[in-house]
Amino acid sequence: MNEAVVLTPERILEATEDVLRRFGLAKATVVDVARALDVSHGSVYRHFPSKASLRQAVAKRWLDRVNAPLQKVAEASGPAPARLERWLRTMFAIKHKKVCDDPEMFATYLTLAQEACEVVKAHKEGLVDQVAHILSDGVKQGAFHVADAKASARAVFDATIRFHHPAHSEEWSDPALPARIDALLALLLRGLEAPRKR
């Protein structure tokens, strides 16, 4: 074993993802991760005190990768209605791509995310906050009429759940899906519009 190697949480998480891909969630162990890194399993435990904490960190890493492009859209400048539509379409595309490109790993990450309830809760809150930020910008721009940005953001998130929640992933290959997304987004954006001044 090569205990002289510089072991970082990031390297451990990368190795864990590789091990999960090779062995699957049910069979992957901390010993497998340590073996992949050529270190003792005690070295892994120095960074992650339990198998559960390691799995939680893998789930968080996955969700953070989903979050990064959405954060960029939320923080961009420009008209809020276009940003909100881009944010929602980006979120749908990210989720759909993960399911279509690698369904086995998507299922693995979904199980990990279900185990990491607090991580998922924080992730969802972060997404709702991003939408609330866009809605607040829209109010300042005079484009949106929203009394409570956070409550409205949660409503937008909930209204679009069919297109981003993994529980609905079997429906995402439906050829009619793009048209249904277009119809829902048109309705949402119309409902958020500020009344025109006469």
pLDDT tens digits, residue range 114-170? Answer: 787 888 899 999 999 999 999 999 999 999 999 999 999 999 999 999 999 888 888
Give the confidence band of 66 by pLDDT, cuts at 50, 70, 90. confident
Closest of 32, 39, 1 to residue 17, by C-alpha: 32
List the alpha helices (DSSP H) in the chain. Answer: 9-23, 30-37, 41-47, 51-75, 80-101, 103-115, 117-141, 149-159, 177-192
Nearest to 166 by CA among 123, 134, 133: 123
Query: How many Å apart are CA 112 and CA 135, to the nearest integer?
Result: 31
State the total domains in the chain. Answer: 2
Q: What is the pLDDT, as a whole number, of residue 148?
A: 97
Residue 80 and residue 144: Cα distance in Å, rounded? Answer: 8
The confidence band for 68, taking pLDDT boundaries of 50, 70 and 90, is: very high
Summarised one tens digit per residue, pLDDT across range 24-64 is 888 888 999 999 999 998 999 999 998 889 988 888 888 88
Q: The domain spanning residue 30 has which CATH number? A: 1.10.10.60
Q: Which domain holds residue 36?
A: 9-47
Long-range contacts of 172-178 (CB under 8 A, 24+ apart): 172/95, 172/96, 172/99, 172/100, 173/100
Asked whether residue 3 is assigned to any structural domain, the reply reads no
Shared domain for 115 and 167, answered yes or no, is yes
User: Is residue 101 assigned to a domain?
Assistant: yes
DSSP-assigned letter for residue 197: P
Mean pLDDT computed over 11-17? 91
Residues 34 and 85 in one domain: no
**Does residue 42 sit in the same domain as residue 63?**
no
Average pLDDT along the chain:
90
